Chain A
Amino acid sequence: GAGVSQSPSNKVTEKGKDVELRCDPISGHTALYWYRQSLGQGLEFLIYFQGNSAPDKSGLPSDRFSAERTGGSVSTLTIQRTQQEDSAVYLCASSLITGIPPTDTQYFGPGTRLTVL
C-alpha cells in the first residue's frame, strides 16, 4: 500500500519568510510524528500527535514552529520567520498504536529538504 508521503520534496526560501510542510500518513495510522534531521545533529523529535489527544510539543525548538493535524490524518508543520539554522530535512513518520512490537513500527516519509537562504 501507499507509504507516508511528504510535500514539497525540496523547499528553498528566504530568511524571514514563512513555510508550510505537509505530511500524509499511512491510512489508518493514528500516531504521527515530525522529526528534523540536520548535519551534525542527527534526527531530533519535534512534535507528536496521537489520535484526538493534545499533541506532545516538547521537541519544538522555538515558538516559530507549530503543527496541526486535521481530521486525524494530514499534518502541516509551519515555520514562521525562517532562519538559516532552520535548514534541515524535515521527516514525518506515522504508526499504529498496538503496544506490540514490531506492529507499532514508525514508518518514515522521504522528507522535505528545507534550505533557508
Chain B
Amino acid sequence: QKEVEQDPGPLSVPEGAIVSLNCTYSNSAFQYFMWYRQYSRKGPELLMYTYSSGNKEDGRFTAQVDKSSKYISLFIRDSQPSDSAIYLCAMSVAGSGNTPLVFGKGTRLSVIA
C-alpha cells in the first residue's frame, strides 16, 4: 500500500459544477497537507497549504483535512474550463521547506464548457 492514495480519474464535469478531489494516507506522522495544480507540460504550482484538521478556504477552493480519518479533500466551486489540470495532493511530516513531499498520483480533471 502506498503512503498516499489518490484516484487518478479522469474526472470530467460540466462548467459550474462543484468538484471534489480526495486523498487518503496511511502515515499518521504527516502534519502538513498541500494541493498542487499541474497544467500540461508545466511544473506543479501550489494551490492550498494546510496544517491542522479542519477547513481552509481561498476563493473558489476549499481544502479539508480530517486527521482522524487520514483523509484530505479539495473542493472547487463554480468550476471553470481553466481549472482543467492534474491535481496532486502532497504531504509531509515537517514543514515543506525542509523535507521531501510525498505525493498522490494526481487526479486529471476536465471541466467542459
Interface set of A (CB-CB < 8 Å, partner B):
4, 31, 33, 35, 40-45, 48, 50, 56, 59, 91, 93, 95-111
Say whether A108 contacts B43, CB under 8 Å: yes
Interface residues on B, range: 20 to 34
Residues A56 and B97 in contact in the complex (CB < 8 Å), given A42-B88, A42-B105, A91-B44: no
Say whether B100 contacts A97, CB under 8 Å: no
Residues A104 and B43 in contact in the complex (CB < 8 Å), given A40-B105, A45-B100: no
Say whether A101 contacts B96, CB under 8 Å: yes
Say whether A106 contacts B96, CB under 8 Å: yes
Q: List 4 tightest A-B contacts by C-beta distance, closest first.
A: A104-B97, A108-B43, A42-B105, A43-B103
Interface set of B (CB-CB < 8 Å, partner A):
6, 32, 36, 41-46, 49, 51, 88, 90, 95-106
Main secondary structure of the interface of A (DSSP, over half): loop
CB-nearest residue of chain B to A45: B100
Residues of B within 8 A of A96 (CB): 97
Say whether B96 contacts A110, CB under 8 Å: no
Report the separation of the CA atoms of residues A42 and B103 in the bound assembly, to the nearest whole angstrom: 7
CB-nearest residue of chain B to A113: B41
Say whether B95 contacts A48, CB under 8 Å: no
Say whether B102 contacts A101, CB under 8 Å: no
Residues of A within 8 A of B104 (CB): 42
Say whether B44 contacts A43, CB under 8 Å: yes
Rounded to whole Å, the gap between the CB of A18 and the closest CB of chain B is 24
Report the separation of the CA atoms of residues A98 and B96 in the bound assembly, to the nearest whole angstrom: 9
Report the separation of the CA atoms of residues A50 and B101 in the bound assembly, to the nearest whole angstrom: 14
Report the separation of the CA atoms of residues A56 and B44 in the bound assembly, to the nearest whole angstrom: 22
CB-nearest residue of chain B to A29: B97
Residues A104 and B105 in contact in the complex (CB < 8 Å), given A43-B88, A109-B43: no
